[in-house]
């Protein structure tokens, strides 16, 4: 998946954090070393990296190819360029002895870092293609379970202003029933941080087999959901701890929805204006009648 600047080599560490859960144990050992000591990796040989990670040279090469590089040398060059142009500033963990000022600052820093990282890995052309697909869809099935459910409601409310026939599905059984009736004119937009919920992945596969277009918003470009989707809009939030990661991840996914909305508004500015006026008129009249009745 390409980032905004169409340079997949400019965000290796960000993408690595996202795909980490999908890596095999041996590849995770290499990932741990790269994430912990990226500066060291760019100056040593593949043999040294393999020895430091406790894996074979073949595993290191497989790790590089998994991230989309031809080999170790290409990976090192990309990593070196990334460290020069985008120095890594990892927000500190919240400590048990930290005061309220430090905790608030750390939470905001982590959220800001997640949004900036998402900006680096989000594919603008894929987002534009997703926006066009949603505008042309007969129905838009917006899907998300668990922590993604509130974002589904948010997306439906946003898309409503564009005249899109959007439906929210946060229950897997209702989702599977809806997917069974999906067709080539429908779009399935799935919001899932890890992209590994079995029922959601199954629904995506069924929808795609029926000819519907499947769009995933996920943190993991190697997740099962990503593999069965037509378009993948990647977010970047490590969720390293409950108090720091939850809202950062939420905001990243919500901002992707905002990006899709903005792209669609650009295509239908007049309709949004007209729909807003109609809604404001009804709400204003409703409030006036309520005040008179009371």
| Ordered structural domains, the chain, with CATH | 9-89 (1.10.10.10), 119-273 (3.40.50.10490)
Residue-wise pLDDT for 129-167, tens only, equals 999 999 999 999 999 998 899 999 999 999 988 989 999
Q: What is this structure's pTM?
A: 0.84
Residue-wise pLDDT for 250-270, tens only, equals 899 999 999 999 999 998 888
- Which residues fall within 8 angstroms of residue 73, CB to CB, at 6 or more apart? none
């Amino acid at each position: 998946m390409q980032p905004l600047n169409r340079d997949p080599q400019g965000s290796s560490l960000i993408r690595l954090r996202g795909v980490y859960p999908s890596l095999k144990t041996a590849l995770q050992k290499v990932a741990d070393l790269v994430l912990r000591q990226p500066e060291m990796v760019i100056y040593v040989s593949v043999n040294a990296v393999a020895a430091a990670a406790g894996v074979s040279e073949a595993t290191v090469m497989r790790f590089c190819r998994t991230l989309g590089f031809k080999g170790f040398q290409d990976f090192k060059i990309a990593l070196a360029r990334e460290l020069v142009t985008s120095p890594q500033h990892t927000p500190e963990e919240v400590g048990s002895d930290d005061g309220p000022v430090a905790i608030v600052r750390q939470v905001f820093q982590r959220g800001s870092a997640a949004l900036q990282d998402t900006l680096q890995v989000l594919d603008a052309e894929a987002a534009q293609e997703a926006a066009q697909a949603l505008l042309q869809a007969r129905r838009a099935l917006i899907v998300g379970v668990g922590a993604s459910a509130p974002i589904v409601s948010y997306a439906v409310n946003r898309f409503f202003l564009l005249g899109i026939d959007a439906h929210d599905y946060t229950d897997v059984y209702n989702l599977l029933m809806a997917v069974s009736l999906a067709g080539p004119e429908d779009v399935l937009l799935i919001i899932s941080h890890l992209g590994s919920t079995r029922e959601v992945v199954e629904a995506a596969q069924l929808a795609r087999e029926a000819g519907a277009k499947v769009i995933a918003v996920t943190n993991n470009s190697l997740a099962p959901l990503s593999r069965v989707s037509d378009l993948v809009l990647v977010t970047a939030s490590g969720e390293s701890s409950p108090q720091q990661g939850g809202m950062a991840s939420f905001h990243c996914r919500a901002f992707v929805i905002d990006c899709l909305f903005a792209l669609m508004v650009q295509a239908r500015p007049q309709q949004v204006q007209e729909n807003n006026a109609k809604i404001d008129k009804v709400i204003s009249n409703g409030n006036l009648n309520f005040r008179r009745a009371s």
